[in-house]
Structure 1
Amino acid sequence: MPRETPKYHVGQTNNIVNAFAKRTAEDSCAYLLSSLTPDMTILDVGCGPGSITIDLARHVPRGHVVGIDIEAAASTLDKGRTQAQMEGVMNVEFRTGNGYTLPFPDDTFDATHSHQVLHQIDDPVHFMREMHRVTKPGGFIASRVWDTGSWILHPQDEGITSFRTMTQRINSERGLVPFAGRNLHIWARKAGFEAGRVKISTSTMTFRTPEERIYVGELFRAISQESDFATMALKKGYVTGEGLERMAEGWQRWIDDDDGPFAWINFELLYQK
């Protein structure tokens, strides 16, 4: 049985949310965009601060987009509302709701989307069933998931290695599937998707320039200091405050290293119902 409410264990502190608010439809769901038409209705599940949601609304100017996230993200959704108003995007709205029990009738949306959500929750199969349920026949279901085993970073750093060990240990205790991306098509099959209609693609995110290193390095620094991962690791005695500080210092060393690339692979599912 799924949890009553899915929980995003990275947390939603200001630094983490501000990093997520820099994402766009083009860099996060390009695999979906060619399937969109101007009058579509779209649901963005687990939308966070809504920057992707707002961009999706721009791609369906005669349609409508709904971004939904859990109640704990209410203040984060306010950021999306504010951004949409400031940018004059009127065909988008944000609501609180549970991805395990989406508050919409069957066959409501032309497309249902989630970005980097399924590997953070304890029952991705149930979550995908709900995405399937609210999507109209002929509509599209799209989800992108980081494969946690595809981490490629140079140079190696003891602090960053400790960070990765900490997050993997916490995820394992939470019962999450390691190497999530490569399980995406399996979850879809278990959720009742017809195998012949499941399209899987991959894309690589690469961070090499000073600006790119600052973006991702500051995000992981924030996770090592402020996230639920850090709180849980401290509570369980897996790490000390000094250990968390060494992780943050490791990320800062990587940010400052002009020879430091970082890349990972995302798996992307596109399904026409």
Structure 2
Amino acid sequence: MTTVLPSSRTGTSSSVYASSHDPATLRTHKWRNVANSAAYLVPYLKPDMKILDVGCGPGTITIDLARYVPEGYVIGVEYANKPLTAARELAESEKVTNVQFAIADALDLNKYADDSFDVVHAHQVLQHVPDPVKALKEMRRVAKPGGIIAARESAAMTWYPKVPEIEQWYTLHIKVGKELLGGSPDPGSYIHVWAQEAGFARKDITCTAGTWCFNTPEDRKWWSSVWTQRVVTPRSIENAVDRGGYCTKEDLFNMANAWENWGRDENGWFTILHGEIICRK
């Protein structure tokens, strides 16, 4: 395994992430694995590959990817150290040794040389950086000739029943992410266009789609409990009320209550459509 140098970045990151690394948000991210979030990449994986996982969060996808490359290794990078503590602990507890974690910025992967990795992967990351094309250029730079750049981003959300407060939540999600923070919420339908702007020929980009669907009693209970908490975190209140002025604190608690009620509805159904790209360098 290669030696990773300590991060040289000490200032603010280029992330425009709307959430914080609070327990509710990390609980959402820890649910993710290769099967539910990166299955489109599996056919391309080989046992000896070197993979860079950009924006790895608490590392559940990263660690899962490492199981697919037992003769290779995976490096997960994140702009903040907080989720990496949980990632390292998880890797140790699951005895996955061909994985490591480091601090790095998606827009400046300068600790990694050109042509270093067989696969460079990012899940739900491009929407949270101010310049997703630059991020893809960096991912392309560190990929080997003939290597793969893989990205997956949410494209749309739909649900039943059409609760007004959840409609309000989704509108708020877009406004905070785009207007206030300068990100690109739900860009999955056009990430292949970003890839072309980053230097990939259209013929070298494969587009697919995947979904998350929460409709069983267990799934609804989990998904609703996560959003009941996430919608009223201090960061959510700061962005939506204090900085954005998009709603009141009472509005947020009404949204949280609506999420809780949705979770109890036996007909409740929530689906997220994701756009996926495999780009060949």
TM-score by length of 2: 0.91
- Asked if the contact 2:212/2:273 (under 8 Å) is kept, the reply is yes
Q: Deviations over 1:80-112 (max 9, x none)?
A: 100000000000001011111102000011100
Q: Is 1:157 aligned to 2:166, yes or no?
A: no
Residue 131 of structure 1 is matched in structure 2 by 139
For residue 182 of structure 1, what is the amino acid of its counterpart? S
- Kindly provide the amino acid, as one letter, of the partner of residue 48 in structure 1: G
Q: Which digits, 9 at most, give the CA deviation of each residue in 1:174-206, with x for residues without a partner?
A: 333455111111100100011111000011211
Task: Name the aligned partner's letter for residue 192 of structure 2.
Answer: H
Instruction: Please give the per-residue CA displacement for 1:140-199, whole angstroms capped at 9, x wherever unaligned.
Output: 11000001xx22110111221221121122123133345511111110010001111100
The residue identity in structure 2 corresponding to 1:110 is D
Mapping for residues 153-232 of structure 1, pairs under 5 Å: 153-173=159-179, 174-177=181-184, 179-226=186-233, 228-232=235-239
The equivalent of 1:56 in structure 2 is 65
| 2:92 match | 85
**Corresponding residue to 2:22 among 5, 9, 13:** 13
The Cα shift of 1:12 comes to 1.1
The separation in 1 between residues aligned to 2:162 and 2:150, in whole angstroms, is 34
* Aligned amino acid, residue 91 of structure 1: N
- AA aligned to 2:176 is I
Residue identity opposite 1:153 in structure 2: W
Segments of 5+ residues of structure 1 without an aligned counterpart are: none
CA distance in 2 between counterparts of 1:218 and 1:8 reads 21
Larger deviation, residues 220-229 vs 94-103? 220-229
| Contiguous gaps of at least 5 residues in structure 2 | 1-11
Correspondence 1:115 to 2:123: yes
Q: CA deviation at 1:216?
A: 2.0
Secondary structure of the 1:268 match is: strand
Alignment of 1:64-75 (within 5 A): 64-71=73-80, 74-75=81-82
Task: Give the one of 95, 101, 104 matched to 1:97.
Answer: 104
SS at 2:208 equivalent: strand
2: distance between equivalents of 1:112 and 1:198?
A: 14
- Confirm whether residue 40 of structure 1 aligns to residue 46 of structure 2: no
Give the secondary-structure state (helix, strand or coil) at the position aligned to 1:61.
coil
Letter in 2 for 1:162: Q
The residue matched to 2:107 in structure 1 has which SS? coil
Number of residues of Structure 1 aligned to a counterpart in Structure 2: 267
> Paired residue for 1:251, among 252, 259, 262?
259
Asked whether the equivalents of residues 224 and 247 of structure 1 are also in contact (C-alpha less than 8 Å), the reply is yes
Q: 1:105 to 1:94 in 2, by over 3 A?
A: same
Between the two proteins, what is the percent identity of the paired residues? 36
Paired residues of 2:53 and 2:76 also in contact (CA < 8 A): yes
Distance change >3 Å, CA 126–CA 234, structure 1 → 2: same
Q: 1:75 to 1:4 in 2, by over 3 A?
A: closer
Mapped partners of 1:42, 1:227: distance in 2: 35
Rounded Cα–Cα distance in structure 1 between residues aligned with 2:186 and 2:31? 25
Decide whether the 8 Å contact of 2:208 with 2:276 is kept in 1.
yes
Quick one: distance in 1 between partners of 2:269 and 2:13?
39
